[in-house]
Amino acid sequence: MESYTSLVCLSSTIFAPLLIIILLKWKKATNSMALKLPPGPPVWPIVGNMLDLLGTMPHQKLYNLRPKYGPVIWLKLGSVNTMVIQSANSAADFFKNRDLPYANRVVPDAMTAGAST
């Protein structure tokens, strides 16, 4: 019993500070990244905002997010970052003024699997 107690104490002294350091670095990384991104709902770990879109009509759920977050919304769908533009004026502004950083983005193979070449 004494060895079990010492093992628990040893593991907690090693893993607790390590966990705190990892959480602080994760929080710092998400805070610095959030300053540059459009507004959006809070992100859950691993699944992102997929739980916000559950239901029969995800496009209506996105439309319901517009009054709270505006016409441009940043979502994280799993590990994929997604920007949703919901108004023609915002889309025109984006494609006229801010399209260069997104011009050479990587398109996943799954998106081009059905396209004929």
User: What are the pLDDT digits (tens) for 81-108?
Assistant: 888 999 999 989 888 887 777 777 777 7
Of 36, 114, 33, the C-alpha closest to 72 is 36
Run of H or E residues at 59: helix 58-69
Q: Taking the model in full, what pTM does it have?
A: 0.57
pLDDT tens, position by position, 50-82:
988 888 888 899 999 999 999 999 999 888 888
Provide the pLDDT for residue 6: 76
pLDDT of residue 68: 93
**Three-state SS annotation for 12-30:** HHHHHHHHHHHHHHHHHHH
Picking from 107, 46, 110, 53, the residue whose alpha carbon sits closest to that of residue 78 is 46
Strand spans (E) along the chain? 72-77, 80-85
